[in-house]
């Protein structure tokens, strides 16, 4: 999901959604550790990993929670000139921050904003009217010193996160618009858990499972419908929504389509979904936000407080679910019941929010906001650019991509 910047385009295209498509969503290590990704028959992590912002929305569950505390006010840390707009959220890991611009250039910088490397990936067959390098429109993913980047040509690239060199590539024969995701799966015959990559071909909604080390295909699902968002992983399942106004639940191990969960009329799902254990949280085109059980398909609760599209990915912790609306509202609900707690009007379409301790961080058009989690009180704001992405929170930094061709970091 590309997050904030495309929400304006989605608003213009909504009358045509599901005719041509349904829209779309997109560090230095502190003391705490990031859990390894979850999947069916998960094994215990073999080692502790550094704090990372693995996907555009944090961990592989897409829960949007940062294991850190933020002050009431942030301070500008650095700004990097990327040469073209950065419209997907940066990711972070191993003491580095990674992002891609709209011309297909991928960058790695250190936690002080100094460039470590940059690269583009040439296209093999081009004419004078076509781009000479792959356009990376999907959000990046970081795991184990590897960066995953999906192109509009439908090729998923694995890059060495230390050097930027391409390690492998896999052709999905279509388009990749959502972020790739990761899980550890124990093979049926036993043995060590294997890392798997899950990525969706946009037009068909086919879910591809690849070997993380080689990029070789493990399995692929049947298609469900156009999918513009990113899959969330939890409880042994891979879950994503589609233009069929449905959430689709697949086994992370076998690719079996376990069940479909109907969301509702005019409720196409174009954003990523948060998956915590056997619970999935999702927004939709109609503004409906829901919690459902992936094990049974039962809808636990529905919330209809938002009158505009929710193509953002909710942030979910033990007590709260926070989500942003295209109309500019940021809502907080009780996780257990879906009852409203507070609503804040930001003045511009809101990005996918992040819960960081007792704070909420989110973008609104080009403004970065810090809200108090308990009551939604605005504690701080900063006008960063005309448009910014959803924030990444890692290593004491809050980082956003900007449509003016920069990446801005705050401490």
For the entire predicted model, the pTM comes to 0.89
What's the rounded mean pLDDT across residues 326-354? 97
Percentage of residues of the chain with pLDDT beyond 70: 87
Domain residue spans of the chain = 4-410
What's the rounded mean pLDDT across residues 46-74? 86
Q: What is the pLDDT of residues 6-23, one digit of tens each?
A: 443 443 343 334 434 566
Fold of 4-410: Methylamine Dehydrogenase; Chain H (2.130.10)
Q: Residue 147: is its pLDDT beyond 80?
A: yes
Q: For tokens 């469900």, what's the residue?
A: 224
| pLDDT given at position 4 | 39
Q: What is the pLDDT of residues 225-274, one digit of tens each?
A: 999 999 999 999 999 999 999 999 999 999 999 999 999 999 999 999 99
Q: Residue 311: is its pLDDT beyond 50?
A: yes
Residue, of 22 and 203, whose pLDDT is higher:
203
Summary mean pLDDT of the chain: 89
Q: What is the pLDDT of residues 342-366, one digit of tens each?
A: 999 999 999 999 999 999 999 999 9
| pLDDT given at position 22 | 66
What span, in angstroms and rounded, lies between the C-alpha atoms of 191 and 119? 37
Q: Residue 37: is its pLDDT beyond 80?
A: no
Tell which phi-psi region holds residue 99, choosing left (phi > 0), alpha (psi between -120 and 50) or beta.
Answer: beta
| pLDDT given at position 344 | 97
**133-138: Cβ within 8 A, 24+ apart:** 133/103, 133/104, 133/105, 134/104, 135/102, 135/103, 135/104, 136/100, 136/104, 136/106, 137/2, 137/88, 137/176, 137/177, 138/2, 138/26, 138/88, 138/176, 138/177, 138/178, 138/179, 138/180
Q: What is the pLDDT of residues 101-129, one digit of tens each?
A: 999 999 999 999 999 999 999 988 767 77
């Amino acid at each position: 999901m590309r997050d904030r910047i495309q929400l304006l385009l989605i608003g213009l295209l909504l009358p045509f959604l599901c005719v041509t498509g349904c829209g779309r969503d997109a560090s230095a290590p502190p003391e705490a550790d990031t859990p390894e990704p979850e999947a069916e028959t998960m094994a215990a992590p073999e080692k502790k990993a550094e704090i990372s912002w693995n996907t555009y929305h944090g961990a592989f569950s897409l829960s949007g929670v940062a294991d850190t505390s933020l002050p009431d006010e942030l301070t500008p840390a650095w700004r990097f000139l990327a040469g073209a707009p950065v419209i997907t959220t940066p990711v972070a890991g191993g003491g580095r921050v990674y992002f891609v611009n709209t011309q297909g250039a991928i960058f790695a910088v250190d936690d002080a904003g100094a460039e470590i490397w940059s690269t583009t990936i040439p296209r093999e067959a081009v004419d004078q009217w076509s781009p000479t390098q792959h356009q990376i429109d999907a959000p990046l993913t970081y795991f184990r010193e590897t960066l995953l980047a999906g192109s509009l040509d439908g090729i998923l690239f694995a890059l060495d996160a230390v050097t930027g060199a391409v390690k492998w590539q896999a052709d999905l024969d279509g388009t990749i618009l959502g972020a790739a995701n990761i899980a550890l799966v124990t093979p049926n015959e036993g043995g060590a858990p294997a890392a798997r990559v899950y990525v969706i071909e946009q037009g068909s909604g086919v879910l591809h499972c690849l070997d993380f080390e080689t990029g070789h295909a493990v399995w692929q699902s049947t298609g469900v419908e156009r999918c513009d968002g990113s899959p969330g992983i939890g409880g042994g399942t891979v879950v994503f929504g589609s233009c069929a106004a449905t959430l689709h639940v697949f086994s992370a191990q076998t690719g079996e389509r376990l069940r479909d969960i109907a969301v509702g009329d005019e409720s196409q799902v174009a954003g990523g979904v948060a998956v915590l254990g056997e619970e999935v949280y999702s927004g939709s085109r109609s503004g409906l936000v829901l919690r459902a059980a992936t094990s049974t398909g039962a809808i636990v609760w529905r919330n209809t407080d938002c009158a505009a599209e929710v193509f953002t990915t909710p942030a979910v912790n033990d007590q709260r679910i926070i989500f942003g609306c295209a109309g500019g509202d940021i809502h907080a609900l009780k996780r257990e019941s879906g009852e409203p707690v507070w609503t804040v009007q930001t003045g511009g379409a809101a990005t996918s929010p992040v819960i960081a301790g007792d704070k909420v961080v989110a973008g609104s058009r080009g403004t970065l906001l810090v809200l108090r989690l308990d009551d939604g009180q605005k504690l701080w704001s900063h006008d960063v650019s005309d448009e910014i992405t959803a924030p990444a929170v890692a290593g004491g930094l809050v980082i956003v991509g900007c449509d003016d061709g920069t990446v801005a970091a705050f401490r």
